[in-house]
Structure 1
Amino acid sequence: MENLFFFMCLISLIVLTLKSKHLLLMLMSLEFLVIYIYFGLFIMMINMNYEYYFVMLFLTLSVCEGTLGLSILVSLIRSHGNDYFQSFNILW
């Protein structure tokens, strides 16, 4: 089980670093990392016989984070026409 957690984290960080040209791929990699953290919290709560309220709060906040990322992606595509990081000019 610990190897699965390490593998999930490693794959998401590798994709995050290698596919950093596209904003959509970076957001998907970050969502995979959030799923990894959620899965780890859920397993920890099962092992310690705790209530699942914190896991539900974390799931709610991760959905809000995903929605915010997608709305930023849509606004950037509407204003710039693509999701490449090289085409964004932060200074203006």
Structure 2
Amino acid sequence: MSSASHRPGPLGNRLSVREEQIVRLLLRGKRNSEIADELSLSAKTVKGYMTTLMTKLNVRSRLEVVLASQADFSGQPSASSR
């Protein structure tokens, strides 16, 4: 068993820690460039993560990533730090 104090939802076992961070920022309405700045990544890297998220969640758009993630992340305290 892992020491995952992450969310227990269906996405919990499918997303990496970095993907979870990106989803949390997406849910806060951040753009790729803002996500990149906050996580010290390039915008191209964030775009790559978005592609991976869409594949893992079986969705075709950024909006669908947000909608698919909302149930798992809503009500969860944000663990992001600035």
* Greater relative contact order (Cα < 8 A, sep 6+): 2
TM-score of the aligned structures, taking structure 1 as reference length:
0.31
TM-score, normalisation: structure 2: 0.34
> Based on CA coordinates, which of the two structures has the bigger radius of gyration?
1
More helix by share: 1
